[in-house]
Amino acid sequence: MDSVKSGKMKVNGLLGRASIAAILGCIGAFSAIQQTQAAEAVCIELTPYRARFILDAEKSNTGGWRIPVNGFKSALLHAADATGAPVPVMWDNNDAGLEYWTIRPFKPATGKLTVSLESDALSDAAPDNRDNRQRPDGTIMLRHPIRSTQDGPLHWNYQPTRPGRYHSFLVWHRSVRPNEGGSLRYGDQTLGFRTDDIPDSTGNWCLPVGILALKNASDEPITLQLDGSHSVSAGQVQLMLVPASEGTMPAQDPQGGEIVLHSRNATIEGVKLQYEPQPHKITVGYWIHPTDSFYWDFRAAKPGRYRVEIHQGCGTNQGGSRAAVVCLDQSFPFEVMDTGHFQNFVPRDLGVLEIREPGIHRLRVKALSKARAAVMDVRQLKLIPLNQGGGDN
């Protein structure tokens, strides 16, 4: 995924208002990991609010991994397999100095796993209180839930800043575990989960529950209902919502051809940017915060050189923002063009991307600067092979 180089650390992302001391602390801890027995845990992303690692699952099935958390001491974490599907994990923060956590999957795993440490850095545009926190990349940390009655269900009150799909994770602390399972409920959505096969642990565990589609500015609570007679206090469980793809992962035909990255399949990280499904729009839009961004994880079948073509729209006298497409350590900066209307989409040739090997890769579109009211709208992006109608190889 996304520029993984064994034994190396990639540092990128938006600094925002984060503590420089915390970032330097993280960098020092990540450097130290390469001097320990856990060197197979490779840091591939570092921002003020996330540290992301690639791990070899087969090497973790017995002893686990030691992940440095210096500078992320109030963090939560979650994990995914090579396809991006969430994986349940548990971790112990038993290091005396709290510099490392030991992480293990619930069940024996194979292949590569991605583990993300998620901190509490807040967004200026998001609610700012101890219990309900949204970060600049859109990840939502819902801490202490509320219980309306003594024996009633727990619930979190949160008003989303944008509509969208989110992976939901329940984070249980220490040895607390419901006997059977339960459900998360939001509006007309119900996500059930089981807990009877979760290993005993003296640490913490993160259970993926499913995808919730949040509604913009909705006052509906998110309710946790447990089966059986097990009772959990408000301080023992947290809910983490991580932006998910608005659709499915784009995949190239096994024989090759264009790779079409449509807005309906993008993953949006931000507090206002959103997929707008209305028939006259069908776009990623409402890009009023330049710190928002979006990406696609896509599967490439054929290595080669591909022409990058973005279909962007921008209103009259609203052009001039700077943006970039970034994929596989290759960057394609450009100036947003005024197209007469935000939904008047014009294809733009940004350059040639080299895909060196087949597999799952990440392509991100981000703003470098905002010139007017909004950056732009994007309906789709195409990767066109140069030897198949896109030019000479």
pLDDT digits (tens, 9 = 90+) for 161-198: 999 999 999 988 765 666 678 899 999 999 999 887 77
CB 298 within 8 A of CB 364: no
Q: What's the maximum distance between 2 C-alpha atoms anywhere in the chain?
A: 71
Instruction: Read off the pLDDT band of 130 (50, 70, 90).
Output: very low
pLDDT at 28: 40
CB 273 within 8 A of CB 292: yes
Q: How far apart are the C-alpha atoms of 104 and 130, rounded to whole Å? A: 29
pTM assigned to the model: 0.84
Domains and CATH numbers, the chain: 20-118 (2.60.40), 132-243 (2.60.120.260), 259-385 (2.60.120.260)
Return the amino acid letter for 324: A
Q: How far apart are the C-alpha atoms of 392 and 325, rounded to whole Å? A: 22
Range from 45-59, 201-215, 255-269 carrying the lowest mean pLDDT: 45-59
CA angle, residues 98, 133, 361, in degrees to nearest 5? 75
β-pairing verdict for 377-385 and 259-262:
antiparallel
Q: What count of other Cβ atoms lies within 10 Å of the Cβ of residue 66?
A: 18
Q: How far apart are the C-alpha atoms of 341 and 281, rounded to whole Å? A: 11
Q: Is the pLDDT of residue 149 over 80?
A: no
CB 240 within 8 A of CB 134: no
Q: Which helix (H) or strand (E) covers residue 25, if one does?
A: helix 20-33
Q: Is the pLDDT of residue 274 over 70?
A: yes
User: First and final CA of the chain: distance in angstroms?
Assistant: 26
DSSP helix/strand/coil, 58: helix
Q: Is the pLDDT of residue 380 over 80?
A: yes
DSSP helix/strand/coil, 28: helix
Please report the DSSP string for 242-310 in residue order: EE-BSS---B--TT---EEEEGGG-EEESSS-EEE-STTT-EEE----TT-EEEEEEEESS-EEEEEEE
Q: Give 330-344 pLDDT, tens digit per residue.
A: 999 999 999 999 999
Instruction: Read off the pLDDT band of 4 (50, 70, 90).
Output: very low
pLDDT at 110: 76
CB 26 within 8 A of CB 36: no
- Going by the DSSP 8-state scheme, the letter that residue 145 receives in this structure is -
What lies within 8 Å, CB to CB, of 114 at 6+ separation is 1, 44, 52, 53, 54, 55, 79, 80, 81
**C-alpha dihedral sign at 205, 114, 294, 384:** negative
pLDDT at 385: 97
Q: How far apart are the C-alpha atoms of 298 and 39, rounded to whole Å? A: 28
pLDDT at 185: 95
Nearest Cα residue to 331 out of 309, 357, 311, 353:
353
Q: Is the pLDDT of residue 34 over 60?
A: no
Return the amino acid letter for 291: T
pLDDT at 374: 97
Q: What percent of the chain has pLDDT over 70?
A: 75
pLDDT at 6: 30
Q: What count of other Cβ atoms lies within 10 Å of the Cβ of residue 169?
A: 23
Q: Is the pLDDT of residue 13 over 60?
A: no
Q: How far apart are the C-alpha atoms of 45 and 384, rounded to whole Å? A: 28
Instruction: Read off the pLDDT band of 351 (50, 70, 90).
Output: very high
Instruction: Read off the pLDDT band of 10 (50, 70, 90).
Output: very low
> Six-digit token pair at 60?
């973790």
> Six-digit token pair at 178?
């419901």
Cα R_g (the chain), whole angstroms: 21
Range from 38-47, 302-311, 322-331 carrying the lowest mean pLDDT: 38-47
